[in-house]
Structure formats: structure tokens, C-alpha cells
Amino acid sequence: MKKDIRFVQGNEAVVEAAMYADLDFFAGYPITPSTEIAELLAYRLPKKGGKFIQMEDELSSMCTIIGASLTGKKVMTATSGPGFSLKQEAIGFAVMTETPCVIVNVQRGGPSTGLPTSGSQGDVMQARWGTHGEHAIIALTASNNQDVFAITVDAFNLSETFRTPVILLLDEVVAHTRERLIMPKPGELNVVKRLRTSVPKGTDYHPYLPREDGRLPMSDFGGVHRYNVTGLAHDMWGFPSNNPKIVYGLMRHLVDKIQGHTKEVTRIKEFFIDDAEYLLISYGSSARTALHVVENRRARGERLGLLELQTLWPFPVDVVQERCASANCVMVVEMNMGQIFYEVKKAVADPQKVFLANQIDGSFITPTDILNILRIIQGKGA
Amino acid sequence: MAVKDYIRERFFPHIWCPGCGHGTIMGSMIRAIENLGIKKSDIVVISGIGCSSRICGYLDFHTLHTIHGRALAFATGVKLSRPELTVIVPMGDGDAFAIGGNHLIHSARRNIDVTAIIMNNNIYGMTGGQYSPSTRYGDLATTAPYGNIDQPFDFVKLALGAGASFVARTTTYHATSMIKILEKAITHKGFSVVDVLSQCPTYFGRKNKFASPVDMLKYYKSQTTPIGSEAKEKNPDLIERGIFAQEERPEYCVEYDKIIEKASQRKVTNGKV
């Protein structure tokens, strides 16, 4: 069969993948550089009977998708830096109420209004800790359109599997780069359906009583089971509770269901890792620059390798530790002041061998930015 | 069914103070639903944060207790994805018109078929009595120890101005007519706002020289009057109650069905192709 090959930008790849993953409902607010996602879905969703709504602000678009998700729909919103800040309280609500949803944050330069049309990876820690309170979260990223497609489908799958908001942490460069996308055929990628309760009408359904495997089958609003959903700490009925025993159980569950499945959630790509003396670790658009450097140096016989992270949170500590063990030097390549760099330092046995090659001025990180640091590490002078 | 068939007795006693008006509103709401004969599983009640918002836990419907001010945004998601459900949003005055004011005016503008019930006690009760957007000029509150210098919103005028297609006002003293008003608001195809004056004896009453909840109810009796009454002509300070607007206007979910029909070239009813 002929391949369906498209020439699209990253934001379009997100839209195609979301439709592939059975997206039903999107709410958003215009913001550069994510707006194309909303524009395309306004056109695409009603064609299949789905719903699109442009809300009055970023906060309400986050809240709206949570409401829609509780009725059994697959939902998504898309935003960028300032909008991501505004959505944080409601993201915490989705964490607490275990409501599946996907939040795309196309990162741009910050803080504040920052650099709306420039790439950045400054929201890595905000994705982890943006909403208040102790919690776990899943955040994914990708560096090219083909991977953006796959990771977007994954975002929906993990969101349904773990009943959690999943943050798709793209950046302006990936979102606006036009390149080839080979459309996966139906059935080629796994699409996880919502797990619904088998508890029949008339029998007590406990919306917040995890099964033995930690999963909580859902019941759609409008269905036969009427229950309470609250952002307050709650018991298995979904009713508010401040009983320390119940709160402890809830907190452990919220964290363990994700942190305890780090291996299952981890997505990485490896390039020339096995014999790498110098191991680069990168993600998102900066991984493209890192890969360019690695391939060029390999052609010259230098042993460079690249570990590309697609799962940023939960941070794949074990994988990073293991892959870094045999490298003489590790260099984290990112467009911030070291948000993943410090995570890598924490993960490895000998943190003094970890270096940072970064770019924070709004321009895209270049091979020279990486090579300059490499020269210093190799003792060749600046 | 009896009123108790609509509540989750398991979660009683409720948190409302003795003499609070919110229970009266819950009672009238249940009676309105009973009179309309809507099935419990077809109703979603969505609230924000505050004393009012705790109503969710006590009602045996699908209930969603959300974050401060955003209940209407959650309601928009529920209603747009399942237009066949009846969506009711009880809110406090601060919830509806301070932190959540934007969502209220935009819900009104869209005319989405959701019923917003403002449990308006002129105070932030849950946090201990701070002035709200409906606290009158000169009233006392813990954050207005020298008297409030903010001017209050007239919620009815605001809802009308924002384009709500059903707007009414009533009080907890008028519990029986509140039932009729709520019936009409819930049945109305479009965005409905019902401003219900509700007494907070603990925080508003105590600070503002109301000796008891009964005095506050008497105030609602003596200081309100039906829309267009002679009494209002004689005393313009009286607060009017009744139905201010009840208009048929294009409803958002119905309009979206038309979008789906246009885009998909297929027939749509209640959001289903």
C-alpha cells in the first residue's frame, strides 16, 4: 500500500496524532506558538462529531476539558508559557481528581511574555512542579514530526492508563518546523481506550478505590453511577476527608501510580551509546543539534553518543544512571539554564563528569554551542 | 420521591452554620427538580469553592466540586460534550462575580444551557467574613473594619448586560416562589442566572447588626418587592425580585450541532451524529 506522506509542521503532527488517538474534545485560547493546534482542530473535530471550543481564557479552557473528560471524552488543550502558567491550578485539579487529559505546552522564551516566537525549553521544571502541592506528573517531548506523532498518541495512552494529566512539552522549533510525516496506518500504533467500571447499576461503585493493580476504572458523568468528584482530599467515595489515614493513602496512591511505573512510562532514543566516551543527553529540538554533532564526530572516528529523552517526568533516573556509567563525560544539551542538567547530576554516580551546553538567548542551539563546551571538556581550550 | 431521596445522607451532617440560608436553597432546588421529574442520573451539579459549593457533596446527582470561580468553565465542558444532561451550577457571590466573573459573563454571552444559581450572602463565609462583590457600601467585614468603600454589583443588571437569556432574583424568605423560579430557570433552554439572596448570620449578620437569622429573613421580606410593584415606585431602595428576562435565543450546544452538520454533512441531534 502507498504510504501517506505529508509535509507538515510539528503542531500539525500533534493534531493528526490526536485525531488518531480518538480525540473528542478540545478547548483552547489563542497563544503563540501553539495556535495552529486550535485552528486545525476547530476545522477537524466537528467533521467527526467532536467538539471544539475557544474559551474566554487559558484557565477556563483547562477546566472545560476536565469537565468534558469526566463525561467520558478524550480531551486536549494546547498553550504556551504564559498560558501554561495560568492553567496550573486546574492541572492540579486533574491530578487530584485523576482525570485523564493532555496538555500541550509549546515552549517559548520566558519568563513572562518573554520571546513569543522563539524556541526555549524553560518550562521543564514548571511541567514538574507548576501546580502546588506534592504530586507526580507525566511530561513527554519529542524532536521531530514523526516522533511528535508517536509521542502524542502515547500521551493520550498514558493519560488514560494512569488517569493523570499528561504534559506534552514541545518547543517552538519543533512546533513550527515543516518536515516529512509518514502517517501511521490505523492500528499501526496502539490506542488505549478508557477503562470503564464493570460495576453494574444498583451496586456501590467506589470511584476512588484503586484496584489491586492501582488502576481506577471510571464511570462517565451521565451514566448509571452518581458520585462526587472534588479537588479536596477525598475518600474512596470521592467525598471530602481530612482523616490522616485516608489522606496518606490518597497521597501515596497519587505519587506511586506514576513514580512506581517510571520504567513503563520511560521513552528514550539511543544513538551510538554503547562505546560512547562522550555521552550527550538532550531532548526536544535541541536533540536535533546534539544528534548532528554526534553523527559528524562519529564520521571522524570520535566516540560520541546521544541519549535522547522523550520522557522528562517521571525522570528516568535508572536509565540515565546506567547509560552514563561507562561514559567519561556526559554533556546535557538544552535551551535553559540546566533544568535537566541538574537532574542528570543527581542521577549519576559521579556528578563532576556532567557538563552543560545550553542556549538561552532565543536563538536555536547550534553545533558550535555544543562543540565549544566539548573543546573545554577535552582540554583543547575555548 | 421525598426530598431525602435526593440527598446523600451518608455525608450528613452538612457544614453549614445554624441559620444559614444555603440549606433553604438546596431544599428549593430539590423540590424544583422533583416537580420537573428529571431523573437523578440526568443531572450534573457543578460548584466552585466556598460555603455554597459544598452543596455538591450532599446531592445525589453527578456532582463536581471544582476550583474557585471556574465552575462554569467545567460546566461548559460537561454540557457541550453531553448536551442531553441538565447542568446546574450553584455558586457563591465571590465565586460567581469576583474570581469567576469572566466565566459568568462569557457563559451568558454564549447562551449555553446551564443554570447558574447564585447563593448570594454578600460575604466570603468560608474564609471568615471578608467583603464580596455584593457587599454593600458601608457594610462591615473582617477586611472592611472601617466600612466597605467598594460599590456592589447588581447581579441582575450584570447578567442582563452580559446577555443571559433568563435572569431572576429571589430570596430564602421566598422559598416557595424560589421553587417556581428554579423550575423555570432549569427548563429554560439557554443560560439562566438566578440571584438568590441568602442569609449568613455567622459572618455577615453578626457584623452588620442583624440579631438573628430571623431578622435577616425579615429584612428580605421587608426590603424586597415584586418587579414593577407600587411599593418600588414609592421606595426606590427596595430590591426587586421575580423574573427579569426570559427570552428565546440560539443556544450554544444547538448551534454547535449545526457546525457538526455543516462540517460532517450528517444529521445531528443532541450532539450525536
Predicted local distance difference test score (pLDDT) of residue A382: 64
- Identity of the residue in B60, B67, B106 whose CB atom sits nearest the CB atom of A93: B67
- Which residue among A57, A69, A231 sits closest to B65, beta carbon to beta carbon? A231
User: Residues of A with CB below 8 A from B84's CB?
Assistant: 222
Q: Is residue B271 part of a domain?
A: no
Which among B56, B81, B263 has CB closest to A228?
B56
B-chain residues within 8 Å CB-CB of A228?
Answer: 8, 56-57, 63-65
How far, in Å, CA of B256 to CA of A97, rounded? 28
Residue of B nearest to A44 (CA): B263
Chain B residue numbers with beta carbons less than 8 Å from the beta carbon of A66 are 66, 74, 77
A25/B80 CB distance under 8 A: yes
- Amino acid type, B200: C
| Residue B271 pLDDT exceeds 70 | no
Say yes or no for a CB contact (<8 Å) between B262 and A46.
Answer: yes
Identify whether the C-beta of residue B100 lies closer than 8 Å to the C-beta of residue B70: yes
Q: What is residue B204's predicted lDDT score, i.e. its pLDDT?
A: 97
Residue B103, pLDDT > 70, answer yes
Record: contact B67-A24, CB cut-off 8 A: no
Nearest to A123 by CA among A170, A65, A91, A166: A170
pLDDT band at A339 (very low <50, low <70, confident <90, very high): very high
Nearest CB partner across the interface for B74, out of A66, A227, A240 = A66
ipTM of predicted assembly, 2 dp = 0.97
- Cell, residue A124: 521543564
* pLDDT number for residue B227: 97
Distance from CA of A193 to the nearest CA of B (A): 17
Q: Three-state secondary structure along chain B?
A: CCHHHHECHHHCCCCCCCCCCHHHHHHHHHHHHHHHCCCHHHEEEEECCCCHHHHHHHECCEEEECCCCCHHHHHHHHHHHCCCCEEEEEEEHHHHHCCCHHHHHHHHHHCCCEEEEEEECCEECCCCCEECCCCCCCCCECCECCCCCCCCCCHHHHHHHHCCCEEEEEEHHHHHHHHHHHHHHHHCCCCEEEEEECCCHHHHHHHCCCCCHHHHHHHHHHHEEECCCHHHHHCCCCEEEEEEEECCCCCHHHHHHHHHHHHHCCCCECCEC
pLDDT tens track for A218-273: 999 999 999 999 999 999 999 999 999 999 999 999 999 999 999 999 999 999 99
* Chain B residues closer than 8 Å to A43 by CB: 263
Q: What pLDDT, on the 0 to 100 scale, is given for residue A205?
A: 97
pLDDT band at A380 (very low <50, low <70, confident <90, very high): confident
The mean pLDDT of A167-190, rounded to a whole number, is 97
Banded pLDDT at B52 (limits 50, 70, 90): very high
Radius of gyration, alpha carbons of chain A: 21
Q: What is the pLDDT of residue A32?
A: 97
Q: What is the CATH number of domain A270-377?
A: 3.40.50.920
Work out the percent of chain B whose per-residue pLDDT is above 90.
Answer: 95
In this complex, the residue of A59, A67, A230 whose CB is nearest that of residue B78 is: A67
Is A229 near chain B, with CB under 8 Å? yes
CB contact under 8 Å between A239 and B271, yes or no, is no
The answer to whether residue A237 neighbours chain B at the CB level (below 8 Å) is yes
- Per-residue pLDDT at B84: 97
| B269 contacts on A by Cβ (under 8 Å) | none
Domain residue limits, chain A: 5-182, 270-377
**Mutation test of the interface with chain A: which of B14, B15, B62, choosing the one with the most A Cβ atoms within 10 A?**
B62
With respect to residue B269, please indicate whether it lies within any of the assigned structural domains: no
For residue range A195-217, list pLDDT tens digits in order.
999 999 999 999 999 998 889 99
Q: Which domain holds residue B65?
A: 3-264
Cβ <8 Å between B77 and A66? yes
Q: What is the pLDDT of residue B266?
A: 84
Cell of A214: 492501582
Residue B107: give its domain's CATH number. 3.40.50.970
User: Does residue B268 or residue A348 have the better pLDDT?
Assistant: A348
pLDDT digits (tens, 9 = 90+) for A116-164: 999 999 999 999 999 999 999 999 999 999 999 999 999 999 999 999 9
Q: Are residues B77 and A64, on separate chains, in Cβ contact within 8 Å?
A: yes
Identity of the residue in B66, B81, B266 whose CB atom sits nearest the CB atom of A231: B66
Fold identical between A5-182 and A270-377? yes
Q: Please determine, for residue B269, whether its predicted confidence score (pLDDT) is greater than 80.
A: no
In a mutagenesis test of the B interface, which of A23, A52, A56 is the best target, namely the one with the most B β-carbons within 10 Å? Answer: A56
The C-alpha cell that represents A170 in the structure block: 514541545
Mean of pLDDT over chain A: 97
Subunit contact A222:B42, Cβ cutoff 8 A: yes
To the nearest whole Å, the CA of B116 is away from the closest chain A CA by: 16
Residue B240 has pLDDT above 70, yes or no: yes
Query: Which tens digits make up the pLDDT trace of A71-115?
Result: 999 999 999 999 999 999 999 999 999 999 999 999 999 999 999
Q: Which residues of B164-174 are buried (b: 16+ CB within 10 A; e: fewer)?
A: bbbbbbbbbbb
Alpha-carbon gap: B263 to the closest alpha carbon of chain A (Å): 5
Using CB atoms, which residue from B66, B85, B106 is nearest to A93? B66
A202 touches chain B (CB under 8 A): no
A19 touches B at CB < 8 Å? no
Flag whether B273 is in a domain. Answer: no
What is the count of residue pairs from A and B with beta carbons less than 8 Å apart?
140
Q: Rounded to a whole number, what is the distance in Å from the CA of B23 to chain A's nearest CA?
A: 19
- Cβ pair A51:B42 closer than 8 A: no
> Is B81 in contact with A73 (Cβ distance < 8 A)?
yes
| B217/B90 Cα distance (integer angstroms) | 20
In one-letter notation, the amino acid at residue A1 is M
B150 lies in some domain = yes
Q: Which residues of B touch A95 (CB under 8 A)?
A: none
Q: B74 vs chain A: nearest CA distance in angstroms?
A: 4
- Read off the pLDDT band of B94 (50, 70, 90): very high
pLDDT for position A277: 97
Write the pLDDT tens digit of every residue in B151-206: 999 999 999 999 999 999 999 999 999 999 999 999 999 999 999 999 999 999 99
Residue A51 and residue B80: Cβ atoms within 8 Å?
yes
For residue B75, give the chain A residue with the closest CA. Answer: A67
* Pairwise CA distance, residues A282 & A315, whole Å: 13
When divided into structural domains, chain B yields a total of 1
Query: Would you give the end-to-end CA distance of chain A in angstroms?
Result: 53
**The residue type at A43:** Y
Residue tagged 520571546 (cell numbers): A115
What is the pLDDT, as a whole number, of residue A118?
A: 95
Q: In angstroms, rounded to a whole number, what is the distance separating the alpha carbons of residues B65 and B55?
A: 9
CATH number listed for the domain at residues A5-182? 3.40.50.970
> CA B241 to CA B252: how far, in whole Å?
27
Q: Closest partner residue to B73 among A55, A70, A228, by Cβ?
A: A55
pLDDT at B270 over 90: no
Q: What is the pLDDT of residues A313-323, one digit of tens each?
A: 999 999 999 99
B6: nearest CA in chain A?
Answer: A226
Residues 6+ apart with CB under 8 A from A279: A273, A304, A305, A306, A307, A323, A324, A327, A329, A330, A331
Average pLDDT over residues B82-87: 98
pLDDT higher than threshold 80 for residue A355: yes
